[in-house]
Amino acid sequence: APDSEVWEGWLTGGDAFLAEINSSVGFDYRLALQDIEGSLAHARMLGENGVITPAEAEQLADGLLRIREEVNSGQFSFDPGLEDVHMNIEARLRELCGPLAGRLHTGRSRNDQVAVDARMWVRSAIDRLDALLAETVAVLAERAQAHHADVMPGFTHLQCAQPVTIGHHLLAYGEMFMRDRDRLHAARRRLDESPLGAAALAGTGYPIDPHDTARRLAFGGVMRNSLDAVSDRDFILDYLSAGATLAVHISRLGEELVLWSTAQFAFISLPEDLCAGSSIMPQKRNPDIPELMRAKSGRVFGSLMSLLTVMKGLPLAYSRDMQEDKEALFDAADTLDVSVRATTAMLRGITFHPQKTRSDAALGNTVATDVADWLVTERGLPFREAHSVVGGLVKWLAALGKELKDSSPAELAEFDQQLADLPPRVLTVENAVVRRRSPGGTAPSLVREAAAELLRRNTAF
């Protein structure tokens, strides 16, 4: 056999399609650094436990460290003919260390090898995404602080409902993203066990020490069942499903930014440098980035669905189907990272227009609930009755071409004597937000506190 041949597989048919369906190095090269870490830990553990000599372990480690440099400097060349990243690295190790390279795979299989690589990859993907998301939350909290008293319309069914503050609206996303961070932390906690030692599926007869490799690779423990260790991919599903929920949140925010930046809403201006122009309409400033925040979610959902489908119905233990986990994982991770970065940049860059949001907040009789509440607290009406009075008033005013905000005390008294002494303040959007001080409510004083508290939780998390 030629020097570079690590192991003689059976898939030796010459047709190009065979390499195409069988070879994964075109994408799993992204596991190279994790693969080298895993092999370093395994080699050192073998040396310490007398499975190979300490000198042999050292030689293998030297070779692996050299390969790591080659990978880091972009000099390593991956050969699709060598199937996957694991075989590529082992073949290079054979070039560097000769037949000794063959001892590295003692007490190990590619099945536990790929599982540990993928776990480490997902672990750092989670850490990266979580750090990016913490920035998003920090920006939301800061902007909410600055706009804690600026009033904007609150909608239900996308119809005018009640006034809220811009800060309150932003903090709603802050809370969603904090739960996304929490889901990522939970996924990380669950994946924190090393599958090494499971070998192909049943464990191994060599006197290996999986706790030692787990420690070297910074895992909190060792997986308890070797069959589970090589056949489980739920750690990827956890990450993808946390990511899918995060993508839902980003898409909703993206949609609101699109809507708010229209001439009709004009709640915000988008940052000039994050807008796209039109090749035909000279006046255009299109919200391409928020639109992509909205759309990229589809790819993440697709990855989750794809891996669920791959895993569904697979018998234990390892099946080659599981090689199909990686493209879904990598694509989702890239998509999530860039989506969160874009989200943070947009949130930093947008300019709110509080005068416009304030005047729009008064449209559509949004203080109707406040008038009804006044009838309850000051005139002793049951809420249902007050609701009916104000419902009638709104219709009556509409016939005059008016809304509550345009009504005069004389008109209110004419409609219903009980409204004769309604203080004009009750018809203002400021009053509507200031009085909503129930926990989690939109009152500026609460929003200012909530923003500070979110910032603290975000930093401590």
Cα separation, 386 vs 416, in Å, equals 11
Task: State in angstroms the smallest separation of the CB of 142 from ligand ARG.
Answer: 43
Q: What is the Rg, in whole angstroms, of the alpha carbon atoms belonging to the chain? A: 30
Cα separation, 105 vs 107, in Å, equals 6
Q: Which is nearer to ligand ARG, 90 or 193 (CB)?
A: 90
Q: Which is nearer to ligand ARG, 175 or 228 (CB)?
A: 228
**The two three-digit tokens of residue 271, written as one number:** 């940052």
Task: State in angstroms the smallest separation of the CB of 62 from ligand ARG.
Answer: 25
Task: State in angstroms the smallest separation of the CB of 239 from ligand ARG.
Answer: 17
Task: State in angstroms the smallest separation of the CB of 193 from ligand ARG.
Answer: 19
Q: Which is nearer to ligand ARG, 6 or 322 (CB)?
A: 322
Task: State in angstroms the smallest separation of the CB of 8 from ligand ARG.
Answer: 13
Task: State in angstroms the smallest separation of the CB of 308 from ligand ARG.
Answer: 17
Residues labelled as active-site residues: 157, 278
Q: Which is nearer to ligand ARG, 320 or 384 (CB)?
A: 320
Binding residues (CB under 6 A) for ligand ARG: these are: 24, 28, 84, 110-111, 114, 318, 320, 322-323
The answer to whether the CB of 246 falls within 8 A of the CB of 133 is yes
Cα dihedral 50→53→55→56 (10° resolution)? -110
Q: Which is nearer to ligand ARG, 317 or 371 (CB)?
A: 317
Q: Which is nearer to ligand ARG, 260 or 318 (CB)?
A: 318
DSSP assignment of 66-96, as one string? HHHHHHHTT-----GGG-SHHHHHHHHHHHH
First to last CA, the chain: 55
CA atoms within 13 A on the CB side of 329: 27
Q: Tokens 């809220």 belong to which residue?
A: 164
Task: State in angstroms the smallest separation of the CB of 330 from ligand ARG.
Answer: 12
Cα separation, 186 vs 440, in Å, equals 25
The answer to whether the CB of 196 falls within 8 A of the CB of 37 is no
Q: Which is nearer to ligand ARG, 231 or 241 (CB)?
A: 231
Q: Tokens 């005018």 belong to which residue?
A: 160
Q: Which is nearer to ligand ARG, 170 or 199 (CB)?
A: 199
The SS3 assignment for 286 reads: strand
Degrees to nearest 5, angle at CA 414 with 411 and 420: 80
Task: State in angstroms the smallest separation of the CB of 37 from ligand ARG.
Answer: 17
Name 2's Cβ contacts closer than 8 Å, sequence gap at least 6: none
The SS3 assignment for 350 reads: coil
DSSP assignment of 44-58, as one string? HHHHHTTSS-HHHHH
The answer to whether the CB of 111 falls within 8 A of the CB of 317 is yes
DSSP assignment of 432-452, as one string? HHHT--STT---HHHHHHHHH
Cα separation, 30 vs 224, in Å, equals 27
Cα separation, 390 vs 398, in Å, equals 12
Cα separation, 264 vs 360, in Å, equals 11
Closest CA to 335 of 234, 260, 251, 252: 251
Q: Which is nearer to ligand ARG, 154 or 197 (CB)?
A: 197
Q: What's 276's DSSP letter?
A: B
The answer to whether the CB of 94 falls within 8 A of the CB of 6 is yes
Task: State in angstroms the smallest separation of the CB of 261 from ligand ARG.
Answer: 44
